[in-house]
A and B are shown apart, each in its own frame.
Chain A
Amino acid sequence: MAHILLRDLDIPDIWQFDTYVANGGYEGLKQAIGNHTPAEVIQIVLDANLRGRGGAGFPTGRKWSFIPQNEAVKYVVVNADESEPGTFKDRQLLEKNPHQVIEGAMIAAYAIQATAVYIYCRGEFWDLAHALEERIEEARQANLVGENVLGSGWNCPMFVHLGAGAYICGEESALLNSLQGLLGQPRVRPPFPAQKGGGLYYEPTVVNNVETLANVPWILVNGADAFKQIGTSESPGPKIFCMSGHIARPGNYELPLGITFRELIFEHAGGIPNGKQLKGILPSGASGPVLRATDEVLDSPLTYESVAKLGSTLGSASFILMDEDTDMVWAAAKMAHFFKHESCGKCTPCREGTYWLERIYERMMRGEGTEHDLHLLNSVPRQMVGVVLCALGDFAANPVLSTLKNFPDEYERYIRQRPVREQTADTLQDYARKEAGEHPAAVGEGGL
């Protein structure tokens, strides 16, 4: 079957405007503007039950329908801050099939009658973002973006905004702050982005993930029913699965939601290399709970609901696979380091919790872990979950609690046998403490 999203796998030159158009590109936008009112476009996407591919799985059509119609200024913001460890699907879409994302964004913009579209690319997508600006310019010259789009009288320019290295900017309200030149920290909600006061420049705003929008042109051309033929009734449509870690053929796989773990890992991605057994699965990057690769798990279908039943989350479907030799405490330490590094610091439980989790793992990596540390690992994440300002603090708890639950023996080993992983311990060491060295004096000016 031909790809719907990763069309570059079928047509390598699809990134070129002419190739994209020659292969049916921008038909969706033309149909939306030519044949449908904005309300009808929203209804089509609602009917298709397209769910957000950024991780939360919220129905896209409903998100669009929240936008008040009578506001003069409205925005569509494309979340291309793809920063979740193990996730690299949006990058492929934007690099290899950029016009489809531009088209999807313009359809979304038409549906809410947006006055501008911003694509927020993570700063590390430096080359990609500059190329994307050229693709947007091609679309603008073809009257698909900008002034009087396709002669409709509707104006909607599109801009690329570059982040500068902050995972938290993938959180939509932090992203909006960052776009506005403010500190990339999440906002208090309500008001939500869709509401006046909550969006970009405090105007009603739809924030959609790249992959979500890449589905939209196909839905407009082929209809909601055709979309629902793919995948399951609750989770229809194709999904890109990012495969990384211990896997024979790492990369992106576009498959219908509803296939099983086993099919994905062993049939499509080639299984575990070097004849090893699969031990741990992170189905949604570092932020979802890790699963032990049991038969029950492997035979479960990949839908938002069934993965939740297993005690994890499908999220962005970024599979990090770990074979039998993987040290799961070390893996959790790596993730604890990640979240401590990326915590924005705005709310107390996340700022302090991620810091102290990293300290505990640092001790463990130095071979100095104690029973007390195990007790702390069990309780500190619970002090964070549910009381933090945004999901990052909740995410940070997941790898800790899920590895403790699924691999208790490995933690026991760290307490009893105290293996040392010095390189990781050094990486985890907070650099302020490192600078302070052995001196108890404070870092920076002065010192008591």
Chain B
Amino acid sequence: MTDTVTITIDGQDFEVPKGMNLVDAAKLHGIGIPVFCYHPKLDPVGMCRMCLVELGNVAIDRTTGAPELDEQGNPVIRWFPKLQTACTQTVSQGMVLRTTSDMVVEGRENILEFLLTSHPLDCPVCDKGGECPLQNLTMAYGPGESRFIYDDKIRLAKHVPLGKLIYLDRERCIQCARCTRFCDEIVGDDVLAFHERGRRLQIVTISDPPFDTKFSGNTTDICPVGALTTTDFRFGARPWELTEVSTICPYCPVGCNLNASTRMDREFGGKAMIKRIMPRQNERVNEIWICDKGRFGHHHSRHEERLLAPLMRNKSGELVEVEWPAVYKAIAKQLKAHGDQAGFVGDSTLSNEDLWELRRLAELSGGSPRLGLWPATMSGGDVVAQVGVGSETRLQDLGPGSVILVMASDFEEEAPIWWLQVKQAADRGAKVVVANARPTKLDRYASAVIHYRYDEAVGVLNSFTAPLLSGDGQLGQGNGWGALQSDLQNAEVTHADTANLLASAENLVIFLGSEGLTLEQHAELMQAAANLLIVSGHVGRPNNGLIPVWPGANVQGAWDMGFSAEATADLLANPPALWVIGGADVAGEDIRMATALEQAEFVVVTAQFMTPTAAHADIVLPRQSFAERAGTYTNGLRRVQRFYPAQGPIGDALPDWKIFAHVSAQMGGPRPPVAAGTIFRDIAQRVERYIGMDYTRLAWFEPQFPDVGGDDLYYGGTAYSNYGGLGLQWPAEAEAEQPQFSVRPVRTAAPQTDGLTLVPVWVLFDRGHLFEKSELMHHRMPQPYAAFNPDDAARLGLTDGDRVTLAVEGHELTVTAQVGDDNPAGAVLLPRRLSGDATLSTPAACTVQKIESMQKVEG
């Protein structure tokens, strides 16, 4: 093979990929070269000098360019006279190194002695103790004792808050710069840096708020000492007491693989309790990173306000505790009474198994089941099934030649880890095109930025497709091709350069959100994306196709189980008499839903908390959080991933699937299944996309490279190896051997009204009913606001900080106005889930009234 070279390590020959970093190459073959500053996900800097090796290269004859040979005909090795840092070397043919010679052993000892001279010897009270690279490497390679006078060590502050989530111990810091480089290289938030120099070099932040990034927790994983610790876990437990349970983040479509570190805890009645959430390596999904929402957003799972027992309204209309059998009966009775007059809504935090049992219940209720998913902001499950990104797509493989279009999404707020991966792809040389009605943070990494009016979104995609259809129909076949061609061939091409960039891309991935779009408009936009991908041939293979920026962790699973946003819209348009709502706080999030529930005859809700939705209900069923039970989520790349019970049960709460199955049994259905895995087997038999999957197969894993989370810890940090399963992706239709594509002309709906449109937008750190329970994150949650364009604000007589009333569809909301140049004209941007007040799922016309009498409130 031409792309590998042979190197010799300690007398043994190894084949390694050409150009690979020497530390990585050794690691690939199980040879650990100790490091502190080097990290396989970061550029090498050669700072800590721990990775010293003896290094020799094949001597090259200057005149011939050929290797010099000795008398026996073997290549002559020219050794560097001094030790070299392995991390700053890339492998070349014939390279020879010694990692165990006396010189190397002494070199490492010397470095460790230096590192330890100023390090406090507080391992017994250090959170990192037990999983500390410095501790481990000192045991393995360090000198027995220090010759320096301990009293002469430099003394620095030990409790420096870097913001409210991360603490810095400046004495423990060994200046490896992994944290600052993570912020600079991986995230692009330059909010951590060194201050001063020499031995006084220390980590600082003065950003506002301090350590202003959505990814701060990752620095504690890659910190090779106990310098950075999280507020969440600080002094919480010792690593060796913890049991690791694989789980999946319940918040966004990325589907980050997590590890819940649990311990039988006195504070939790002796039951297993989550002490911290850590990333679990999945190079196909989140690599080794997670955002702070996923890391610190687990407190809802054992919050004191959790619902502990089923509640049912008594004759005087109060919710009172009842036993489970009573509620099962009562619900079954209501469902039977209402027949096909029932509507069902499943939340994006429900597992596939929950949703499946909800569907089974709906089917038993008669008529054709009305299965709505929540949040109902995005359409296009069928489009994803057709042109979803190819199986085995790895965002970290996107680089030169790849183009990534991110459209209608405030990407970092909606899918932080994808944002981070796309940002890095741009750094590697991929071209990123960002299209939205307003600037977002991704713009700074974009090769092209297109700002459109919200209702022009479909037109933008059409204008990318049009040039591809202007030639003489040499292009493919399939449904609707002719119609599309005749529709677009005379279309105005408004972004010719970008269109060309997309068309000529070796790989094209489109991330599509739904900002500013109604469900109908979004359906069109999804189809427009499909048209573009099909016509340009960017489908059916890895690293090509569509990735929907779904509004939740298991929206894809909900589509797969037969739920849809259109069904939710239909339930709103033609409200049922009886609602069964799984997990979602529909009334707390959407004013239309709140109205619909008020008018309903009977409402059944599974909930973790007494949300506005639960407060509307006639029967409230305590559901278990994701932490207490098993299940599967399907992420935005259609990867089905398992999560496992991590935490002890709370009260009488049950998993949603069990609740629904018991009601089904009351309705004459089969006996409830005993475990989530049984349900999944059922799913795998009936849902075509899931055929062939089962819990065992989903739990498959393989060694991943880089080997982060291995036992050595020093190489990649404390992210965990994946033993819970890498999950399985179901293939898109485009991946079939003879795919049948269907395209169709799509049109922008008629322009919206002249007045203002209220556009709901996402913010990551929101006050959704689950995340809100993580009180340590409250300082990062913005106060409720509505954002205005300066022209609109001027017309309305508004200035920044004014209180305003927004009237939409007969409802009123009071918020603080924010005025900024970046806000698009004609739109009032209203973040979802920032207060107890319901907002909207999809845009609607609104009017704005300034509240004159109230005092100005600072935003």
- List chain A positions with a Cβ less than 8 A from chain B: 166, 168, 183, 188, 340-349, 351-356, 359, 372, 375-376, 379, 383, 386-389, 430, 432-433, 436, 440-448
Contact = CB atoms under 8 A, between A and B. Distances in A.
Contact of B117 (A188, A356, A389): A356
B149 A359 contact: yes
B155 interface: yes
Contact of A442 (B47, B117, B157): B157
Interface stretch (B108-116, B243-251, B266-274, B769-777): B108-116
A234 to B, nearest CB: 21
A389 B147 CA distance: 24
Nearest to B177: A346
A183 B195 CA distance: 9
Given A348-B48, A432-B156, A442 B199 contact: no
A445 B160 CA distance: 7
14 contacts: A344-B197, A345-B196, A346-B47, A349-B49, A351-B198, A356-B117, A356-B152, A387-B52, A389-B47, A432-B200, A444-B157, A445-B157, A447-B157, A448-B158
A355 B118 contact: yes
A345 B175 contact: yes
B228 to A, nearest CB: 15
B148 interface: yes
Contacts, number: 131
Nearest to B84: A387
A442 B122 CA distance: 14
A383 B155 CA distance: 23
Interface of B: 44-50, 52, 81-83, 88, 107, 110-111, 113-115, 117-118, 122, 147-149, 152, 154-160, 170-171, 174-175, 193-194, 196-201
Contact of A446 (B157, B194, B199): B157
Nearest to A445: B157
A391 B199 CA distance: 17
Q: What are the 4 closest A-B residue pairs judged by CB atoms, nearest first?
A: A446-B159, A345-B201, A444-B157, A352-B114
Nearest to A441: B155
B773 to A, nearest CB: 29
A341 B114 CA distance: 18
A347 B199 contact: no
Contacts of A443: 155-157
Contacts of A346: 45, 47, 175, 201
B198 A432 contact: no
B160 A389 contact: no
Contacts of B170: 442, 444
B115 A348 contact: yes
A348 B114 contact: yes
A433 B45 CA distance: 29
Contacts of A352: 114-115, 117-118, 199
A440 B115 CA distance: 21
Given A347-B49, A446-B157, A447-B159, 16 more contacts: A166-B197, A340-B198, A345-B199, A345-B200, A348-B47, A349-B49, A355-B118, A375-B147, A388-B49, A430-B154, A440-B155, A441-B155, A442-B156, A442-B157, A443-B155, A445-B157
B49 A348 contact: yes
A444 B44 CA distance: 31
A343 B49 contact: no
B160 A387 contact: no
Contacts of A359: 148-149, 152
Nearest to B152: A359
B64 to A, nearest CB: 21
Given A188-B88, A340-B198, A348-B115, A432 B154 contact: yes
Contact of B198 (A183, A342, A349, A387): A342
Contacts of A448: 122, 158-159
Contacts of B199: 340, 343, 345, 351-352, 354-355, 430
Contact of B160 (A342, A354, A446): A446
B83 A376 contact: no
B113 A389 contact: no
Nearest to A440: B155
